[in-house]
Amino acid sequence: MNVYTMEDWRRDCDFKAQPGQEISPEIYDEMFNVMPPLRLPREKAAEVLESLRLPVHAGFMMGEPHSSDKDGALYLAFGKNNYGKGDRFFYLGLSHKEKPVKNGTYFYFETIELLPNDGLMKETEYTTEKKALRFAKDHEATLYKVVYHNNAVVSKERLYVPICQ
C-alpha cells in the first residue's frame, strides 16, 4: 500500500485510507488539530500490533464520532511509530473510546429517572452515604452501595428501598 497523502484525500473528496495504511504527516497533523483529540485506547494499540503487525508508540482518536455500532460511537484512530529513522504515521481504523476502569465504592441509584452515569456515583467527600440516602429518598430510588475492583463487583449492599415498592 502506498502512503495516503493530502493529494489522495483531495482527489477522493473523502478520507479513504485503509486501516494500517501509512499516511502523510500533513494528514496526521490535520486530523490531530481539527478538534481536541481523544486518547487512543490501549486495546486499539494492542489490536493493531496483533492484527496488522504495526507497533504504535503514540496516537489519538478524532474528538467527534465517525459512526457507531452496537457498542457505541466509533472514532477515527491514528498512530505513529519511530524506529530511530523519523516518525511514520498510520491510519488505524475505527475505535471505541477507552472504557473507564471502576475501582472503589460507588452508589447506584435504581430509578426510572434519567440520571448521569446511568445512576452510578463514586463515593467521595462530596457524595457521602448520608447524601446518597437523602437523594434516594427524594427520588424514590432504591440505593445500593457497590464496591468495584478493576470493573468487577466485589460487594453489593442495598442501603434503601422506597416504601412504595
89-107 per-position pLDDT tens digit? 999 999 999 877 888 999 9
Backbone angles phi, psi at 109, to 5 degrees: -100, 110
CA dihedral 95, 101, 107, 108 (to 10 degrees): 40
**Bridge partners, 72 (sequence order):** 69
Q: What is the pLDDT of residue 112?
A: 66
Q: 157 falls in which pLDDT band (50, 70, 90)? A: very high
Q: 164 falls in which pLDDT band (50, 70, 90)? A: low
* Mean pLDDT over each residue of the chain, to the nearest integer: 89
Total Cβ atoms within 10 A of residue 156: 12
Residue 165 in this model has a pLDDT that exceeds 60: no
The per-residue pLDDT for range 128-144, each reduced to its tens digit, is 899 999 989 988 889 99
Residue 117 in this model has a pLDDT that exceeds 90: no
Q: Please tell me whether residue 48 adopts helix, strand or coil conformation.
A: helix
Q: Are 78 and 90 in contact (CB under 8 A)?
A: yes
Q: What is the pLDDT of residue 102?
A: 86
Q: 24 falls in which pLDDT band (50, 70, 90)? A: very high
Statement: the pTM of the whole predicted model exceeds 0.75: no
